[in-house]
Chain A
Amino acid sequence: MVHETPVLSVAGLTRIHGRGCADCVRLTGDAAGRNVCPSCGSVVAVADISFDLWPGEILGVMGESGSGKSSVVKLLHLDDRASAGSAWFREGDGRRHDLVAVDEAEARRLRDTRFGMVFQNPHLGLNFGVSAGGNIAERLLCGGERRFQTIRETALGLLDRTEVPRARIDHQPGQFSGGMQQRLQIARALAPKPELLFLDEVTTGLDLSVQARILDLILEIQRELGVAMIVVTHDLGVVRLLAGRTIVLRHGRVVEAGLTDQILEDPQHPYTQQLVMSAL
Chain B
Amino acid sequence: MPQSSSPIAPALPCGLKAQSSKPKAGLAVLTVSGLSKSFTLHHQGKSIPSAYDASFTVCAGQLTALVGPSGAGKSSVLKCVYRTYLPQAGSIVLHGDTDLDLAACDEHAALRARRRDISYVTQFLHCLPRQSTVDVVAAPLVALGEDREVAREAARLRLRELDLPGRLWDVPPATFSGGERQRVNLARGLVHRPRLLMLDEPTASLDQRSAELVVAAIRAAKCDGVAILAIFHDPALVAALADTVVTLKRPTEVPCAA
Contacts and interface: CB of A to CB of B under 8 A. Distances in A.
Given A266-B86, A273-B43, A258 B107 contact: yes
A135 to B, nearest CB: 28
A270 B107 contact: no
Given A1-B144, A244-B111, A270-B42, A261 B84 contact: yes
Interface in A49-67: 54
A216 B111 contact: no
A92 to B, nearest CB: 18
A51 to B, nearest CB: 10
A139 interface: no
A265 interface: yes
Contacts of A40: none
Given A2-B112, A54-B108, A245-B111, A266 B39 contact: yes
A131 B50 CA distance: 59
Contact of A259 (B39, B111, B128, B129): B111
Given A2-B112, A270-B42, A245 B85 contact: no
25 contacts: A1-B145, A2-B112, A212-B129, A216-B128, A244-B111, A258-B107, A259-B83, A259-B84, A259-B110, A262-B83, A262-B84, A262-B86, A265-B84, A266-B39, A266-B79, A266-B84, A266-B85, A266-B86, A268-B40, A269-B42, A270-B42, A273-B42, A273-B43, A274-B43, A277-B43
A210 interface: no
Interface string B61-90: 000000000000000000100011110000
Contact of B86 (A245, A268, A273, A274): A268
Contacts of A262: 83-86
Contacts, number: 45
Contacts of A219: 128
B107 A245 contact: yes
B116 to A, nearest CB: 10
Interface of A: 1-2, 54, 212, 216, 219, 223, 241, 244-245, 257-259, 261-262, 265-266, 268-270, 273-274, 277
A184 B142 CA distance: 27
Contacts of B41: 273
Contacts of A277: 43
Contacts of B142: 223
B130 interface: yes
Interface of B: 39-43, 79, 83-86, 107-108, 110-112, 128-130, 142, 144-145
Contacts of A245: 107, 111
A238 B144 CA distance: 23
A265 B43 contact: no
In the A-B complex, the 4 residue pairs with the smallest Cβ-Cβ separation, listed nearest first, are A270-B42, A1-B145, A266-B85, A261-B84
Nearest to B129: A212
Nearest to B86: A266
Contacts of B39: 266
B153 to A, nearest CB: 18
Contacts of B83: 259, 262
A239 to B, nearest CB: 14
Given A259-B107, A262-B83, A270 B43 contact: yes
Contact of A265 (B40, B79, B129, B145): B79
Nearest to A273: B42
A58 B130 CA distance: 21
Contacts of B112: 2
A258 B40 CA distance: 17
A227 to B, nearest CB: 15
